[in-house]
Structure 1
Amino acid sequence: MISFEEAYQRVMSHTFSFGMEHMDLLRSTNRVLAEDIFADRNFPPFNRSTKDGIAINSKGLEGGNLRFPVSGIIPAGTPPPLLKDTGACYEIMTGAVVPENADTIVMYEDLDLVDGYAVLKSLPEVGKNIHQEGSDKKSGNLLLSKNRKISGAEVGILAAVGKSQVLVHKNPVIATISTGNELVEINEIPEPHQIRQSNTASLRSLLLEENISAENLHVNDERGDILSSLELALKKNDVLLLSGGVSKGKFDFIPESLDKLGVKKVFHRVLQRPGKPFWFGLQEQHNTVVFSFPGNPVSTFANYHIYFRDWLYKSWGLDVPEFMLELGDSTVSHDKLTIFSNAKVQSENGIVKVFVIGGNGSGDLISLGKTDGFVRLDPGKGRLEKGTLVPFIPTRNLLNWNQ
Structure 2
Amino acid sequence: MIPVDEALALVLDNIDPLPTETIDFDDACGRLLREDVASDMDMPPFARSAVDGFALRAEDVASVPARLTVVGEVPAGTLPDFRVGVREAAQIMTGAPVPEGADAVQMVENSKWVDADVEILTPVKAHQNVAPKGSEVRKGDIVLRRGTRLDPPAVAVAATVGKTRLEVGPRPKVAVIATGDELVAPSETPGPGQIRNSNGFSLVAQCRSAGAETSFLGVARDDEASLETLIREGLDFDILLLSGGVSMGRFDLVEKVLETFGVRFLFDAVQLKPGKPLVFGLGDGTLVFGLPGNPVSTMVTFELFVRTALARLEGAEDPTRALLSATLEKKLRNRGVRRAFVPGWVRTGESGELHAFPIATRGSGDIVAFSKSNALLIVPEEIDKLEAGDDVRFYPLDSFLIKEDLWQAGRNPS
Q: Quickly name the TM-score band, shorter chain normalised.
A: over 0.9
Residue 183 of structure 2 contacts residue 194 of structure 2 at CA under 8 Å; is this kept in 1? yes
**Cα separation, partners in 2 of 1:312 and 1:179, compared to 1, 3 Å:** same
Q: 1:214, 1:346 → 2: CA distance?
A: 32
Mapping for residues 175-186 of structure 1, pairs under 5 Å: 175-186=175-186
Question: TM-score, normalised on structure 2?
Answer: 0.91
Aligned counterpart in structure 2 of residue 384 of structure 1, from 383, 386, 403: 386
Q: Which residue of 1 aligns with 2:93?
A: 93
Aligned sequence identity (%): 32
Q: Which residue of 1 aligns with 2:10?
A: 10
Q: CA RMSD in A?
A: 1.9
Q: 1:62, 1:94 → 2: CA distance?
A: 23
Superposed CA offset, 1:185-215 (max 9, x none) = 2333333432222112111111221222301
Q: Which residue of 1 aligns with 2:409?
A: none
Q: Which residue of 2 aligns with 1:232?
A: 233
Q: 1:112, 1:21 → 2: CA distance?
A: 56
- Unaligned runs of at least 5 residues, structure 1: none
Residue 375 of structure 2 contacts residue 400 of structure 2 at CA under 8 Å; is this kept in 1? no
Q: 1:91, 1:324 → 2: CA distance?
A: 51
Mapping for residues 152-163 of structure 1, pairs under 5 Å: 152-163=152-163
Give the C-alpha shift of residue 84 in structure 1. 4.8
Mapping for residues 34-45 of structure 1, pairs under 5 Å: 34-45=34-45
Q: Which residue of 2 aligns with 1:206?
A: 206
Give the C-alpha shift of residue 102 in structure 1. 1.0
Q: Which residue of 2 aligns with 1:166?
A: 166
Q: 1:203, 1:352 → 2: CA distance?
A: 29
Q: Which residue of 1 aligns with 2:280?
A: 280
Q: 1:98, 1:373 → 2: CA distance?
A: 50
Residue 296 of structure 2 contacts residue 367 of structure 2 at CA under 8 Å; is this kept in 1? yes
Q: Does 1:223 align with 2:224?
A: yes
Q: 1:399, 1:16 → 2: CA distance?
A: 31
Aligned counterpart in structure 2 of residue 313 of structure 1, from 311, 326, 329: 311
**Cα separation, partners in 2 of 1:358 and 1:241, compared to 1, 3 Å:** same
Residue 174 of structure 2 contacts residue 207 of structure 2 at CA under 8 Å; is this kept in 1? no
Superposed CA offset, 1:250-290 (max 9, x none) = 2111000111110000010122221111111101xx21101
- Unaligned runs of at least 5 residues, structure 2: 404-414
Residue 17 of structure 2 contacts residue 312 of structure 2 at CA under 8 Å; is this kept in 1? no
Give the C-alpha shift of residue 18 in structure 1. 1.1
Residue 334 of structure 1 contacts residue 378 of structure 1 at CA under 8 Å; is this kept in 2? no
Superposed CA offset, 1:206-258 (max 9, x none) = 12212223010121111012123212221x20101110110112211100011
Q: 2:55, 2:323 → 1: CA distance?
A: 50
Mapping for residues 312-351 of structure 1, pairs under 5 Å: 312-315=310-313, 316-319=315-318, 320-325=320-325, 326-349=327-350, 350-351=352-353
- Between 1:51-60 and 1:126-135, the stretch displaced more is 51-60
Question: TM-score, normalised on structure 1?
Answer: 0.93
Q: Which residue of 2 aligns with 1:295?
A: 293
Residue 148 of structure 1 contacts residue 318 of structure 1 at CA under 8 Å; is this kept in 2? no
